[in-house]
Amino acid sequence: MNIPAPYLLYLGAATDPLSIKTSRGVADWRRELCVGQRRLPGCDLTLGLDDLSYSEAVARGAKTMILGEANAGGVLSEVSAREVVAALDSGLNVASGLHQRLAQHPDIRAAAQRTGQLLFDVREPPADLPIGNGRPRPGRRLLTVGTDCSVGKMYTSLALERELRRQGRLADFRATGQTGILIAGSGVPIDAVVADFIAGAAEWLSPARSDGGWDIIEGQGSLFHPSYAGVSLGLLHGSQPNALVMCHEPTRTHMRGLPGRALPSLKECLLANLEAAQVTQPEVVAVGVALNTSKLDEASARGLCEQVEHELNLPCEDPIAMGASKIVRRLLECFPDGTAAGAGMFSRCRIGTAARAR
Amino acid sequence: MNIPAPYLLYLGAATDPLSIKTSRGVADWRRELCVGQRRLPGCDLTLGLDDLSYSEAVARGAKTMILGEANAGGVLSEVSAREVVAALDSGLNVASGLHQRLAQHPDIRAAAQRTGQLLFDVREPPADLPIGNGRPRPGRRLLTVGTDCSVGKMYTSLALERELRRQGRLADFRATGQTGILIAGSGVPIDAVVADFIAGAAEWLSPARSDGGWDIIEGQGSLFHPSYAGVSLGLLHGSQPNALVMCHEPTRTHMRGLPGRALPSLKECLLANLEAAQVTQPEVVAVGVALNTSKLDEASARGLCEQVEHELNLPCEDPIAMGASKIVRRLLECFPDGTAAGAGMFSRCRIGTAARAR
């Protein structure tokens, strides 16, 4: 799946900011690929892009409309289905992260056939995924892991990619969820693959690489989330990560969707991830902790980061509010240029061992 | 899925003993449900059952033919497809563990529609599986876990069910693979569900139970197998097991399918499983080790069991060659009648803690 850019972002008649989080993700992280937004009457939200009709979007070079508005259930409304048909008829491809597949709607299927435009259902996994084999492969890979779902793994991954690129390094975000895939233009919806293929899908997503660049792989779920830990473990094994960054939302009172179930401690979660990762990458190291501090004031946020740094001997920052430079610095210290992955690491990179010893 | 018994076991023209392992599993474990076998000319294998035609099988009460012969690729041969049609026309349902779905073959689909007989594709997961929720549920559950794939988890589970029933206890084997499902007549092909639903499928398979009986859940894969560990972890979390039995094949030189990759040690593997299981069942205990000693002479087998018992302070036996009574004795010591699951355990049941301390 390679979704042709640039994009027109569809907001529909949305009034709930959460319902456009996919469009917002693309606008936040790939603004240079967005030529405008398409809103219907009643929509009082904006991404700050120009409001365009389909023909205007095509005139400005748009190749694909991104259906970045989701109502409850991830189902396509009839209004939106008519808009999709109009977009196809105007010469746009259409990409969707909805649970319901575009091609299942008869009018949309007919319009795609009539126009020759492409439909992208990003929740549809590739057809020929391999079974994972765990064989060591060259390349440098960083995986974001978390104490829970929805703690900022995608935003952290993208912030790390941005910071590495800013410093002139090769780095590529590898997407594993629908919003990430729409941002990257490619990826694999890891939670939608058949269970036997989770690790294989992760191997497929981050193949052998020899240009010295980093694959920054978007983590999913948590080893401690009783609904999704299998996905997290298969992704961890298949990613064969050289480096882990741990993501956490410090005000979360219980595991997402499971009132009464406490989150693991950062240390417990970090050690469990390092141990599990060693099955396919014995030299794995942790290089930082990313906190989502959006619900804290700045002083509390900075205090908490310092506390975590002291506790775990790892750089800790909020990659959105504070930037990702401290984590990237540690990453580059642990993996200096010109060395094979994992070689030449400073002893301070052996955080797993150090944290365990305490 | 509830496959009507009794069964006629189809062997086709098989000459390779491995190709009929599904039929053999059913004959080994549910002989009382097997009225006969169906062989084609050229088949020189036997399960020791009467050779029957389809009409003879129906006359003896058979309800379902089990397609228990698999060639490479799990594809249905044209010869076998014609036999399936003949079985349907004679009044038998047909159940298959093949990768290829019965209903995808046009002649078979037409015959099923014509006759009203049922087709069971046991690798097709149920349609409405829930997402796992990890909420504690009543009941007593034992899960078999392993150092690798194909080390005897299904045979161990069935031997534990048999021994518990022999002692007059309520116990039910819960199948998670195609052969197990054909033996049990129900179950869920856990490796074929969509990744997000692994834990939910395990919860669905072993729901709340209040009659004091045990669910003996068939494990899959290994937390240390880089291809399938995600399946193993989701199954472990969703099963919420009170008790674990660790399965191992002591002559295995590398992880199945992955030459050069060593197996974990029993202790390492046991501790990893206990730790991961604690996410949904904080009181989980290990109650035994099951060795597949079929490749050892008896003296070596007994010596090895003693050695493992000494090392791990757990009963160790080969449940097929030696029976499962020692493991069942420990299980019933740890969970005496009339106590809630996990309550009243002897301190010796706390093997996880003891093994870690060494």
Cα gap A313→A355, rounded to integer Å: 8
Angle between helices B78-89 and B106-115 in degrees, nearest 10: 0
Partner A contacted by B199 (CB < 8 A): yes
| CA-based nearest residue to B253, from B144, B148, B155, B152 | B148
Tokens 């919860």 belong to residue = B203
**Of A45, A37, A49, A40, which Cα lies nearest the Cα of A12?**
A40
Q: Prior bond to B264 cis, omega within 30?
A: no
Residue of chain B nearest A263, judged by CA positions = B279
Q: What is the DSSP string of B188-200?
A: --GGGSBGGGHHH
Average pLDDT score over residue span A200-217: 97
- The confidence score (pLDDT) of residue B99 equals 81
The size of the A-B interface in CB pairs under 8 A is 123
pLDDT at B349: 52
What class is the B140-357 domain? alpha beta
Structural contact between residues A308 and A290, judged by C-beta atoms closer than 8 angstroms? no
SS3 B70: coil
CB-nearest partner of B196 from A191, A224, A226: A191
Positive or negative: CA dihedral A102, A104, A107, A111: positive
B192, B275, B276: residue with CB nearest A195: B192
Sign for the CA dihedral angle at B166, B171, B176, B182 comes to positive
Q: Strand pairing partners for A174?
A: A217
**A36 and A62 in contact (C-beta within 8 Å)?**
yes
In total, chain A counts a number of residues equal to 358
Chain B residues near residue A239 by CB distance under 8 angstroms: none
pLDDT attached to residue A341: 46
Instruction: Report the alpha-carbon distance of residue B273 to residue B219 in Å, rounded.
Output: 12
Q: Where are the domains of chain B?
A: 7-121, 140-357
B124, B233, B275, B356, best to mutate vs chain A, most A CBs in 10 Å: B233
Non-local (6+) Cβ contacts of A149 within 8 A are A220, A221, A222, A225, A228, A255, A256, A257
pLDDT value at residue B68: 82
pLDDT (tens digit, 9 = 90+) per residue, A141-175?
Answer: 999 999 999 999 999 999 999 999 999 999 999 99
B194–A134 C-beta distance less than 8 A: no
Q: What is the mean pLDDT of residues A271-287?
A: 97
Whether A258 sits inside 8 A of B234 (CB atoms) is no
Q: At what angle do helices A229-239 and A198-205 cross, to 10 degrees?
A: 40
Smallest CA–CA distance, residue B201 to chain A, in Å, is 10
Of A336, A250, A326, nearest to A295 (Cα)? A250
User: CA B351, CA B271: separation in Å to the nearest integer?
Assistant: 9
Kindly report the nearest CA distance between residue B73 and chain A, in angstroms: 14
- Where residue A4 falls among pLDDT bands split at 50, 70, 90? very high
A238 near B CB under 8 A = yes
Q: Write down the residue that tokens 């009409």 correspond to.
A: B55
Chain A residue numbers with beta carbons less than 8 Å from the beta carbon of B195 are: 190-195, 197-198, 230-231, 234
A302: three-class secondary structure by DSSP: helix
Taking the CA of residue B71 and the nearest CA in chain A, the distance in Å comes to 20
Domain pair B7-121 / B140-357, same fold = yes
Instruction: Give the dihedral of Cα atoms B23, B26, B27, B31; nearest 10 deg.
Output: -150
**Predicted complex ipTM exceeds 0.85:** yes
CB contact under 8 A, A195 and B199: no
- Grade residue A34 by pLDDT with cuts at 50, 70 and 90: very high
Distance from the Cα of B134 to chain A's closest Cα (Å) equals: 5
Query: What's phi and psi for A15, nearest 5 deg?
Result: -125, -10
Q: What residue spans of chain A are helical by DSSP H?
A: 21-29, 54-59, 78-89, 106-115, 153-166, 178-184, 198-205, 229-239, 266-277, 298-312, 325-334, 351-357
Q: What is the CATH number of domain A7-121?
A: 3.40.50.720
Residues 6+ apart with CB under 8 A from A38: A8, A9, A10, A11, A51, A52, A53, A54, A57, A65, A83, A87
Res B124: pLDDT: 92
Burial degree of B345 (CB within 10 A; 0-12, 13-18, 19+): middle
DSSP H or E stretch at residue A195: none
Q: Is B278 in the A-facing interface, judged by CB distances under 8 Å? A: no
Residue listed under structure tokens 């289905």: A81
C-alpha dihedral over B108, B113, B116, B122, to 10 degrees?
A: 50
A218 in B contact zone (CB under 8 Å) = no
What is the Cα–Cα distance from A147 to A78, expressed in whole angstroms? 38
> Residue A49 corresponds to which tokens in the numbers above?
């892009």
- Greatest CA span in chain A, whole angstroms? 66
Task: Compare CB distances from B190 to A193, A195, A237 and report the shortest one's residue.
Answer: A195
Cα(B149)–Cα(B162) distance, integer angstroms: 22
The nearest CA of chain A is from the CA of B196 a distance in Å of 5
DSSP-assigned letters across all residues of B153-213: HHHHHHHHHHHHHHTT--EEEE--SHHHHHHHS----GGGSBGGGHHHHHHHHS----SSP
Q: A233, A270 in Cβ contact below 8 A? A: no
**B226 and A280 in contact by Cβ < 8 A?**
yes
Cβ-Cβ contacts under 8 Å, A220 against chain B: none
SS3 A60: coil
Kindly state the tokens that stand for B307: 């050695």
Residues of B in contact with A204 (CB under 8 A): none
CB contact under 8 A, B194 and A196: no
**Collapsing DSSP states into helix, strand and coil, what is residue A105?**
coil
Give dist(CA A105, CA A111) in Å, integer.
Answer: 10
Confidence (pLDDT) at A350: 52
Answer yes or no: do A192 and B193 touch at CB < 8 A. no
Residues 288-307 in A contacting B (C-alpha not used; CB under 8 Å):
none
Q: Which of residues 93-132 of A touch B (CB under 8 A)?
A: 131-132
Rounded CA-CA distance A42/B259 in Å is 61
Per-residue pLDDT of chain B (358 residues; tens, 9 = 90+): 689 999 999 999 999 888 898 999 999 999 999 999 999 999 999 999 999 999 999 999 999 999 987 776 678 889 999 999 999 999 999 999 888 899 999 999 999 999 999 999 999 999 899 999 999 999 999 999 999 999 999 999 999 999 999 999 999 999 999 999 999 999 999 999 999 999 999 999 999 999 999 999 999 999 999 999 999 999 999 999 999 999 999 999 999 999 999 999 999 999 999 999 999 999 999 999 999 999 999 999 999 999 999 999 999 999 999 999 999 999 999 999 755 444 434 444 554 443 443 3
- Residue A349: pLDDT band by 50, 70, 90 thresholds? low
pLDDT in tens, A330-348: 999 999 975 544 443 444 4
